[in-house]
Structure 1
Amino acid sequence: MKIVVIGGTGLIGSKLVSSLAEQGHEALAAAPSTGVNSITREGLAEAMSGAAVVVDVSNAPSWEDQAVLQFFQVSTGNLLAAEKAAGVKHHVVLSIVGSERLPENGYFRAKVAQEELIKQSGVPYTVVRATQFFEFVQGIAEAGAVGQEVHLSPALFQPVASDDVVAALTDVVLAQPANGTLEVAGPQAIPLDEMARRLLQVRGDSRKVVADVHARYFGAELDDKSLTPGAGARLGLVHFEDWLAGN
């Protein structure tokens, strides 16, 4: 089966391409660097030809509010149009747990808009919402840095290993369209400040992590439900401590 992975050269995309190829499928890593551009439509029709499934794990090059919204709207619109023309039977998109709960975050607003375009398109679809990846915890900590301190919310946080996200996406791609939303999260919810504290300690970073209920997460204050999944979410197998030991 031919499967086009939009964003196929990134963290999740490259792993997904390898996972699908290992199972005997023709997985195409589609990205500007491989001649497929979902914004300009360069190479898009050729990539879609003969494809059964398209998986969109792309990321916007700019996270400025208007730029990220425009990216996901234009890119998703172009993908869906090309899929309809090519007869693609399943559109899978990777989104974010809690996007609709944090409207102060421009990136989250853009992901919600992307999901709505897909739901209204008429193309059979599955939305896979994942929590933040372990790989992003360092960047989240840096965003809360204030001098020699790191101010972060103590709200519960349930990030997931990228490998567990890839495993979930692989299963979704090879299944029938859900025409709905599935959630993927890590196996354990931990206060965000505590998770960052563990990470910095392991990496020899002496900065003090300060729990601050008013600390903003990319523009939004958090509570225990902001970034955690609902009942029925698929939980990954890799615990944060194990991931830390390997990274």
Structure 2
Amino acid sequence: MSAPLLQIEGLSVRVEDKEILHGIDLQIKKGETHVLMGPNGAGKSTLGYALMGNPKYQITGGKILFEGKDISEETPDKRAKDGMFLSFQNPIEIPGVSLTNFIRSGVEQRTGKRIRFFAYKKELEEMMKVLQMDPSYAERDLNVGFSGGEKKKAEILQMLMLKPSFAILDETDSGLDVDAVRTVSSGVEEYQKSIHGGLLIITHSTRILESLHVDATHVLVDGRIVASGDGSLVDEINENGFERFL
């Protein structure tokens, strides 16, 4: 049996003076897609931020192992270089930095070497086509004046270009219309197919999951995983909500 790509053992997390997560255990192998669902306020985003090392989220118990190494004390940039990626629920705007240059800088930091511009630009154009992004967005300042859908597409574009071995998608389908969800979902499919990394999709909706292969579903309530199952658990939640887990 292959070792887990990500292993969370007894993870408890505090934000300021409130403990949000209580003893989370979770294992994700390379190539697997896991879904974390739960009602608003359950602690789903807290888990994503804690995994990426946001200093606001303090680990009070347990540990995070990534590719067999304890990364619980590592900085966010070190985790990103190791191959972790977080797609934010509300992507920030960065005036003065184009989408092209932002992603190029990220790829160079991730790989530790300079990249050939023309090969990079060709790959960027191909990935933008997958996401049905207007090519002009490549030269626009990152997320400045982007619609909600374009911001989410830009996040998935970063994931496809950075090729992380493990990606966390936090409410990537939030606030998107049906067409935008379908397009973002096709970008996630591309990641599953070509990069074959581990995925943790955090959502309280099920729209983004409709065309994706899901290996495991976990239900988070009040900072605890109260149920786990396969992809069929998504269908049950879609039909009945979280009633039986509360």
TM-score (norm: length of structure 2): 0.36
Whose strand fraction is larger, Structure 1's or Structure 2's? Answer: 2
